[in-house]
Structure 1
Amino acid sequence: MAAIASLQAVNLTLRRRGTRCGIAEPSGEPAPMGLKTRYDDGLVERVFMGLFARKMDKFGSKKKKETKEKGFWEYDYESFVEVSKRVMQGRSRVQQQEAVREVLLSMLPPGAPQQFRKLFPPTKWAAEFNAALTVPFFHWLVGPSQVIEVEVNGVKQRSGVRIKKCRYLENSGCVGMCVNMCKIPTQDFFTNEFGLPLTMNPNFEDMSCEMIYGQAPPAFEEDVATKQPCLADICSMSNPSSPICPKLEA
């Protein structure tokens, strides 16, 4: 929790200095399906991209060694996604998910999950608080989002987050990357490490996504997201002849 709090503090400080990222589209909204949304990333966003990319790079396939290691601020979103693709190479879906889990754990100080459990037991308040925190804190990763009302175990609460058009899915174009590198490990991390259930429901037709804090995720075999075919028109790794994205079967 200390790491999350410190990163949030850095995020807010840099934003006050005018380094806030935003959508560079004239409408101020994500581009329509079929078009790639343009973003104007600031220093803080590049730092986060670099931080995650360098952590993930330790799990990536070998590449030609660069003469000089990039600084955190020298990464852009495309290079962050490229590192994610290299992490997928040569790994089963379970190994991909475990790699992301290790990256997330490596960014936290010892004992952070236990501290999170004490501060945020699985209550309505904790679910709503984390939903509110998600909108500004993960804008750089998934794009614009908003808190929405959802129903969890028969109770209506504002612990849902609707991502308008997920930046990660839009840039990767890969169903397998969405599920194995984002959805499943994020659900697992919050549910099992932090003790706060989380379900993520990506919509592959419009690239939106709904996050529901407080709701336990379904088993992998019962999750509709794990039965999706490739996005053949935009994924460079797609297999159009397969009824399910091959990355979800391995």
Structure 2
Amino acid sequence: MVVLLNLQGVGVGCPHPPLTPSPTMLTGHPHRRHTSGRWRRRSSGNFVLRCAIAEPSGEPAPLGQKTQYRDGFLEKVFMALFARKMKKHAASPTTTTASSAWNYDYDSFVDVSRRVMQGRSRLQQQQVVREVLLSMLPPGAPAQFRKLFPPTKWAAEFNAALTVPFFHWLVGPSEVVEVEVNGVKQRSGVHIKKCRYLENSGCVGMCVNMCKIPTQDFFTNEFGLPLTMNPNFEDMSCEMVYGQVPPPFDEDPVSKQPCYANLCSVANPSSSVCPKLQA
């Protein structure tokens, strides 16, 4: 998906050198250094994506504490791209969260997501995200993706490797892990240590309806590469498994998940299941 993104409005043809991820970022190795929080220019003139986490340990903050990030220019560009697309479907803000079309930080990006959720059913929220994802791609991209990445072990492992560096801005630090898919062990799993989107929203409904389900459906149905996402609501981690067909929603454990009563601004503590997960 990353390779096919149509980065509208980023300034195609600008004089900057090409952006290339370093080999260490593609490996997802947990012991290699990637915590400087900036795109840095190497002697070759290329930029290398570095982890933007700002915690002294280089790891997400413990549960109950908010992880601090240092977002650079490119991270904010991605935030603005998604936020501008989603803003078209969002309810009007009660306060101004961005002073210009490109001045978005992560909190304002999450705020737009929350406003998209307002007044919409679970399926309507998922449909909005699908439309936004499609709008980020050039015409014919899903068909081209199916040709480049048929549902093979190699395609699953390759997309897992790409997820680690390219989606750090969205979900935080992650690493490629070995998983078992249909009885075969392969490195097509991505372990997200503490999901930035879930941590900042504090909302089970947003995690499931605005991230998990639409992303699974997009890869599985649009791209033809099955993907299952398993969020852990106890520690806010998540496991992505490329190559694994996701279960029907009613059979997925997340369908019975209650709200974060102390974190979510729209939580219903009296309900045994997050209201946003109900039909």
2:137 aligns to what? 108
Question: For residues 93 and 252 of structure 2, what CA distance do their matches in structure 1 show?
Answer: 34
> What's the offset of the Cα at 1:20?
4.2
Task: Tell me the amino acid that sits aligned with residue 182 of structure 1.
Answer: C
Q: 2:216 aligns with which of 172, 183, 187?
A: 187
Relative to 1, partners in 2 of residues 1:170 and 1:153: Cα closer, same or farther, differing over 3 Å? same
Aligned counterpart, 1:209: 238
2:227 to 194, 198, 210: 198
Number of residue equivalences: 247
What does residue 12 of structure 1 align with? 20
Matched, 1:142 2:143: no
Distance 1:11 1:211, change over 3 A: farther
Taking every aligned residue pair, what percent have the same amino acid on both sides? 74
Q: State the 4+ residue runs in structure 1 displaced beyond 4 angstroms.
A: 18-21
Q: Which residue identity is paired with 1:83? A: V
Supply the distance in 1 between the matched residues of 2:167 and 2:65 (Cα, whole angstroms).
22
Match of 1:51 in 2: 81
Q: CA deviation at 1:155?
A: 0.2
Change (3 A) 1:142 1:75: same
Determine helix, strand or coil for the equivalent of 1:12: coil
- How far apart are the structure 2 equivalents of 1:65 and 1:170? 22
Contact 2:6–2:137 under 8 Å retained in 1: no
User: RMSD in angstroms over aligned alpha carbons?
Assistant: 2.1
Asked if structure 1 preserves the Cα contact closer than 8 Å seen for 2:198 and 2:204, the reply is: yes
1:23 aligns with 2:24: no
CA contact 2:6–2:136 (8 Å) conserved in 1: no
Alpha-carbon separation, structure 2, partners of 1:191 and 1:59: 24
Gaps of 5+ in 2: 9-16, 22-37, 42-46
Mapping for residues 1-250 of structure 1, pairs under 5 Å? 3-4=4-5, 12=20, 15-17=39-41, 20-63=50-93, 70-72=100-102, 74-250=103-279
Q: TM-score, normalised by structure 2?
A: 0.84
Identify unmatched segments of 5+ residues in structure 1.
none
More helix by share: 1
What is the letter of the counterpart of residue 41 of structure 1?
D
- Distance in 1 (alpha carbons) for counterparts of 2:254 and 2:82: 25
For residue 14 of structure 2, what is the aligned residue in structure 1?
A: none
CA distance in 1, matches of 2:20, 2:95: 34
